Every structure is written in structure tokens, then in C-alpha cells.
Chains A and B, each alone.
Chain A
Amino acid sequence: MTKMKSEVLFGIDTFGDIPVDDDKNLMSYAAAIRQVVDEAVLAEKVGIDAIALGEHHRSEYAISAPDTVLAGIAGKTSKITLATGVTVLSSDDPVRVFQRFSTIDALSNGRAQVILGRGSFTESFPLFGYDLRDYEVLFEEKVQLFSELLKETPVTWEGTTRAALDNVEVFPKTESGHLQTMIGVGGSPQSVIRAARYDFPLMLAIIGGSPDRFVPYVDLYEQATKEFGTTRHPIGMHSPGFIADTDEEAIKLAWPPYKKSHDRIGKSRGWAPITREQFLHEIANGSLYIGSPETVAKKIARSIKVLGVGRFDLVYGQGPLAASARLRMIELYGTKVIPRVRELLAENSK
């Protein structure tokens, strides 16, 4: 247990929210994408282990093709893991996903990591001509095919959601022979079991409520791997947050864009607008890691300890935040928060 804790990895994740510039004007989609590339370069410089980019097809997010952005980052970095969070496999072609990521793996000398998921949005379904009623079967079949493709040997496969493959080889193959792959899960027990069944590491998306709620899910993953005879891989978690020099400043900067983003998404889902009281409640008790480096470090260390995870990713930049505040956040995360979390974990394990 102690050993695992000392090896905890830290990442930052973004959906490519459109930031504002110093004059509070929304940046263009193109500038927002270049901003993420700059942020990834900074993240590597300050010692962050991974960056994960989400895939969305909504006006408030610039990144719909995260793998292309990762390829851009690959050329400007040398250490940081290049991940997605998540690649919406249900509405994609597993063969093509493998090819795109094995290509990034080549460009980055083995740093590509696919995090497959169903996503919390479903815009990709109508966009690419899929029926939401096939939600379950699309993901199940495609995860199964993807797990076959990962063996990098000829694949024979038949299903209902894409053309059959008869002893087909898929290229490029990776140098290591294994493309890093995880499954992102938002709390559906069946998804946890599926990850275990196909022998994938689990990435828990804990985006609301107490992280403690997920303790039984860690147990479920473990039990399921035992049942299927698969590997109990380290588990990761990802949660949203924001860091500034003080708690007050962090809350002041994060609240207006957070509310804007929350209410806009909420409107399409029938949620009522979020109140400041709920926002503060979520910071104090839930899964919003917002505050000074010390506050955020304590909260992260606590979650890592409670859940026994091997990786923590902070989802940053919700809503139209200032680009400069995002850069400052990444700097604080790398230079202050992560070292402090490691310190706290070391103290705990003594």
C-alpha cells in the first residue's frame, strides 16, 4: 500500500473550454486549442505526469479531436503522458482509434494513452449517425473489439456495430507492443465490471459529491478482477478544480465561469441554475478541488488515501476563465500542490 502511494501520478485534464483573454474577450476556437498546447508544455515543465484531453462536440469546448491536439503536443514535449479523457468509443471506430493513438505513440516515443469511455455528453451520437438507443451495445462491442486490437496480432471479429474483420492486421503497431489504455467510468457499476472483465485499468470520473462514495467501487473493481482472473491495475481518479494563491482568490476567479458553464450545460439537462451556496458546499464536502495550494493539496491527499488510487487528475478550466489564470493554476499545481500532496502522503504512510 505504502509503495503504491509513493508512486502516485498526477495529471491535468481539460475539455478545451474557451478561455477569455486579458480584456475578457472569448478567445477563438483556434486560439483556445493553441492555449491547451501551451498549457501542456508548461505542465511538463513543472513536473506534471500527464495531460488528458476530453472529446466534446459543443460550442463551449474547442476540442473535438483530442488526438490531433495530442499529436501537436507530442512534438513540443518529451516526458508528459498524452492521454484522452475520454475518447467516446461508442461513436467512433475502434480500428481508427487504435490507429490514431498508435500514431501518437510513435510521434511521442511511447507516451500515448487512450482513456475510453461513453462520455457524459451524447452529442456525438446524432453527429456521427448513431442511435442513442444502441448506447449499451455500441460500447460493449467496441470495447471488446478494442481489447482484441490491443494484442497487435491479426484480429477476427464479428458484431452488429461495424463491419466484421477476418484475420486483419492493423497498423502502425506500437514499439512497446502495448498501447496504454484505461476505461473512464462515471459511477455505473456495470462499467466498473466491464473494465475488469476486459483487463483494463479504471479511471473514475468523480465530478460531484463525496469521493468516499466511490470506495465500494474500488472494492467492486477488485472483486471483479478476481472473479474474471484479470489484473487488478492501479485505479485513477479525475475531479474538477482550480488553484490560485489564496482560497478567496481561487473562489473569486472560479465561481463566475463555473456558474456560466454549469448553468449552460444544466439547461439542456433540466437542472436548476447553481447557487453560490451549492458551489461552496461542493468545495467543502464534495468533489470540487478549489482553493489555495495548501487547501487543494490536503483535499487531494485525503482522496488519494481514502480511495487508494495510483493517479489523480485535476480537471481544470471550467467555463470562460482567463487564460492567464489557467496558466498560473498549472504552475501552482506542479510546483506547490503536487510536492505538498506527496509530502502529505509520505507523512500518512509513516
Chain B
Amino acid sequence: METSALTIGLLGAGKVGVVLAQLLIKAGYKVLIAGSGSVDKIALTVKVLAPGAIAKTKEEVSKEADIVILALPLGKYQAIPRKGLAGKLVIDAMNYWWEVDGERPDLQDLSTSTSEIIQKYLSESRVVKAFSHIGYHDLHDETRPISHKERKAIAIAGNNEQDVQQTAELVEAIGFDPICIGPLAFGIRLEPGSEVFGAHVKATELHKMIDNFPQTEKGKQVVAARR
């Protein structure tokens, strides 16, 4: 596979990080993965749950990978090593989850998507949002080959067409139809409280849900907050 030349880095070795590592390895990528602490702490997890992935520190992963996916608790985003990620495509798979992150008004500000907060923090990287709205077990269970009629879709929000395209290739490769929904600000349409959050549906239905966003309760709140 041609794509195998790319090295994908995962920051986060929890439920989402491990599933993404499994799928990306299956798709032929080289995968590096880091948890919040030392390499020792995740070595066994990686060896057993995502054989083939290489456990490293978050600094090493950020520096050595071509593309980095963020799969750590959103509330800890300030622990992401900025330096190694400069100039890179960074895919944000995180969501605000109060049961993990605690009460964080800064992450519930309706005037900005949480991915824009990440973009601001990683000012020298190019942030795209993807892999965030589908639950980790559906991510694991619902992969299907290209053009399978039941293939599910994953939405992507990003500002740069080339980055969105590159993200779409990853989505495609692990077994989902990519759909591009617009700029990073539109990432809010995928966040908890939206119809899309938790959805594992086909592309046509996902499109419909996303287009319908401004009419929903959350959509109206967002519009009001941004007026």
C-alpha cells in the first residue's frame, strides 16, 4: 500500500487512541503512540491491544510522526508538546466530556469550537477535526470496505483543503466514508449535544444531520452566542 510510507502519531493511549492505532496499523500505516506518562506505563497495553504500534513519549511521537492525532482528554490539551508539532497536520479527535475533564467553562464557550481552541494553542500547526463524533466502539465495530452499501461516514472540519484531503484519506483507509463539512469552526456541529455526536450513520444521513444543525436546540444556541 502506498500510504504505508506515512507515520501516524497518536497522543493518547486510552479507549480511542488504542482503537485508532489498531485500525491504522490494519490499514498499513506506521503508528507511534504515547500516553500521558512514561513509555513503560503503556508498553504492555500497546503490545497486547495494538500490536505493531510503537510506544514512545509524547515528545518523540510529536516530533517523529508525519501526522498526529490527538486522543487525550480535552481538558489536558495544554500538555500537548507544541514544539514537535510545528508545521504539521494535527487531527483533533477530542471532545469536552465533563465527567472526565471536570467543570470547564472555557471548553463550553459556544462562540468557538473546541478545535479552534486547539488551533489557537497549536498556532504553528494545522488543526483538522475528525474521528471525534463516532463512539470508540462503533469506530471499532463499524468499519467496512470502500463502496460497501452499509459503509458508515465520519465528518471532517478543517480550513485547508489539502489537510482535509489528507485526513479524508485516513478516514477512507480505516474503513469509513469521509465527508467534509466546512471550516474548523464548523467542528462545533460535531460536538457533544449535536445530533451527530455519537452517530454512526451513512454519508447521506450524516450530511442531513449536519445541514440540520442550525435548526436544532444546540444550533440555535450557537447562532445566538455568535451573533
Q: Are A and B part of the same complex?
A: yes
Q: Does A220 lie within 8 Å of B99, measured CB to CB?
A: no
Per-residue contact bits, chain B 1-21, to A (CB 8 Å; 1 contact, 0 not)? 000000000000111001000
Give A269 to B95 CA distance when docked, in angstroms: 11
CA distance A210 to B41 in the complex (A): 27
Cα distance, A252 to B34, chains bound together (Å): 46
Q: How many residues of A contact B (CB 8 A)?
A: 29
For residue A28, CB closer than 8 A to chain B, the reply is: no
Nearest Cβ in chain B — how far from A235, in angstroms? 14
CA distance A220 to B47 in the complex (A): 9
Instruction: Determine the residue in chain B with the shortest Cβ distance to A272.
Output: B195
CA of A132 to CA of B102, assembled, Å: 5
Q: Is A223 engaged at the interface, CB distance under 8 Å to the other chain?
A: yes
Of the stretches A64-72, A149-157, A183-191, A336-344, the one at the interface is: A183-191
Which of A131, A135, A189 interacts with B45 by CB under 8 Å?
A189
What residues on B are CB-neighbors of A227 within 8 Å?
44
- Residues B102 and A216 in contact, CB atoms below 8 Å apart: no
Interface-side segment among B57-65, B79-87, B136-144: B136-144
Q: Chain B contacts of A122 at CB under 8 A?
A: 98-99
How many A-B pairs have beta carbons closer than 8 Å: the answer is 77
Residue in chain A with minimal CB distance to B41? A190
Tell which of B103, B137, B191, B192 has the most Cβ of chain A within 10 Å.
B137
Interchain CB contact under 8 A, B44 and A271 = no
Q: Is the interface of A mostly helix, strand, loop or mixed?
A: helix
- B-side contacts of A223, CB under 8 Å: 44, 47-48
- Name the A residues within 8 Å of B13 (CB-CB): 189
Closest partner residue, chain B, to A187 (CB atom): B15
Interface residues of B in 88-119 (CB under 8 A from A): 95, 97-103
Contacts of B191 in A (CB 8 A): 270
Closest residue of chain A to B43, judged by CB? A227
- Bound: A42/B101 CA distance, A: 41
Contacts of B135 in A (CB 8 A): 208-209
Chain B 180-199 interface residues, beta-carbon cutoff 8 Å to A: 191-199
> In the complex, A89→B195 CA distance in Å?
34
Which B residues, 116 to 144, have Cβ-Cβ distances below 8 Å to chain A? 135-138, 140-141
Across the interface, do B141 and A188 meet the contact criterion of CB distance under 8 Å? no
State whether A189 and B49 are in contact (beta carbons under 8 Å apart), knowing that A133-B102, A135-B100, A208-B135 are contacts in the complex: yes
Contact A210 B197 (CB under 8 A): no
Chain B interface residue count, CB cutoff 8 Å, equals 34
Q: How far apart sit A266 and B195, CA to CA, in the bound complex (Å)?
A: 11
Report which of A132, A224, A266 forms a contact with B99, defined as CB distance below 8 A: A132
On whether the beta carbons of B141 and A285 are closer than 8 Å, the reply is yes
B25-67, CB < 8 A from A: 41-42, 44-45, 47-49
Q: How far is the CA of A190 from the CA of B198 in the complex (A)?
A: 24
> What separation, in Å, do the CA atoms of A188 and B103 have in the docked complex?
22
B123 to chain A, nearest CB (A): 26
With A188-B14, A271-B197 given, is the CB distance from A208 to B137 under 8 Å?
yes
**Chain B contacts for A271, CB-based, 8 A:** 192, 197-198
Q: Among residues 159 to 218 in chain B, which have CB atoms less than 8 Å away from a CB atom of chain A?
A: 191-199
- On chain B, the residues within 8 Å of A286 by CB distance are 141
A210: which B residues are within 8 A, CB to CB? 137, 140-141
**Do residues A131 and B48 form an inter-chain contact, with CB atoms below 8 A?**
no
Q: Are B44 and A132 in contact (CB under 8 A)?
A: no
Is A29 in contact with chain B by the CB < 8 A criterion?
A: no
The answer, yes or no, to whether A276 is at the interface (CB within 8 Å) is no
Question: Which residues of A from 210 to 236 have beta carbons under 8 Å from B?
Answer: 210, 213, 216-217, 219-220, 223-224, 227
21 contacts between A and B (CB under 8 A): A132-B102, A135-B100, A189-B13, A189-B18, A189-B42, A189-B45, A189-B49, A219-B48, A220-B44, A220-B48, A223-B44, A223-B47, A266-B198, A269-B97, A269-B192, A270-B95, A270-B194, A270-B197, A271-B192, A272-B194, A272-B196
A209-B141, A220-B49, A269-B192 given; 15 more Cβ-contact pairs under 8 Å: A132-B101, A187-B137, A189-B18, A193-B44, A209-B138, A213-B141, A216-B49, A220-B45, A223-B47, A223-B48, A227-B44, A270-B192, A271-B192, A272-B195, A272-B199
